[in-house]
Amino acid sequence: MSVSPHPSARAMRRVDVPALENGDRLTRPEFERRYAAMSQIKKAELIEGVVYVPSPVRYEGHGRQHSELATWLGVYVASTPGAGVADNATVRLDFDNEPQPDLLLRIIEGGQSQVGSDGYVEGPPELIAEIASSSVAYDLHQKLEVYRRHGVQEYIVWRTQDQATDWFVLREGRYERLTPNESGLYQSENFPGLWLDAPALLQGDLAKVLRQQTDGVATPEHDAFVALTRAKRN
């Protein structure tokens, strides 16, 4: 007589855990429990207690743009010891909010966030960047409010359908739009030397975006920032 193999404890736990569904209202611990049990889901967020599970990602409209922003931030970090970039890292903000931003930039030592013993970011990173389809996306509504309330100092949204970028800076508890210079160049207020050529980005000219970023990290302001972050680590 054949005997069915006894299911592993891990498999039994997964059967017992309810599925993570778009629109569920959950606490953060329950959200993490369900998310951990569903290995097939690569991205899910908890925003104001509501679960958001994005649709599959297209190359054009998200994937390519995401990669180009990641490359831009990576070039900055390569020249900026003390700053760290992460792609799709979960961020624990409070009991009802656990976003998984497309990209984040944080000060490693002495910044607003820390990495917990289990590897998750806890607290608000200094800068978050998201790829959104248009101005009606939740990135510019529910998430914007959550990031503002928790003190994310700068928030970038690339609206791919609108062919536009938004760069918000937190000033006295409110988000205000950062004004680019006459050439369309954004210059970060919290990360000296972080420059973004928005017209070149929207035109798909990544080479120009990176040339401008290379100029940004060659400034005295960037040198002073690197010296400051180095002093915090020592």
**Pairing, β 83-87 against β 103-107:** antiparallel
Domain annotation covers residue 20? no
Q: Are strands 50-52 and 45-47 parallel, antiparallel or unpaired?
A: antiparallel
Question: What pLDDT shows up at residue 135?
Answer: 74
Extract the tokens encoding 113.
């966030």
Confirm whether 32 is domain-assigned.
no
Q: Which residues contact 16 (CB under 8 A, 6 or more apart)?
A: none
Total residue length of the chain: 234
Q: What is the CATH number of the domain that holds 215?
A: 3.90.1570.10
The pLDDT value given to residue 234 = 72
pTM as predicted: 0.88
Q: Does residue 10 form part of some domain?
A: no
Determine the pLDDT at residue 15.
57
208 within a domain of the structure (yes/no): yes
Our count of domains for the chain comes to 1
What are the backbone angles phi and psi of residue 113, rounded to the nearest 5°? -120, 165
Instruction: Show the domain range for 103.
Output: 59-233
Condensed to tens digits (0 to 9), the pLDDT of residues 193-224 reads 999 999 999 999 999 999 999 999 999 999 99
pLDDT computed for residue 13 by the predictor: 43
pLDDT-flagged residues of the chain (< 50): 1-13
In this structure, is residue 203 part of a structural domain?
A: yes
Q: Determine, yes or no, domain membership for 169.
A: yes
Classify residue 190: in a domain, yes or no. Answer: yes
Q: What does the mean pLDDT of the chain come to?
A: 91
In a domain? residue 218: yes
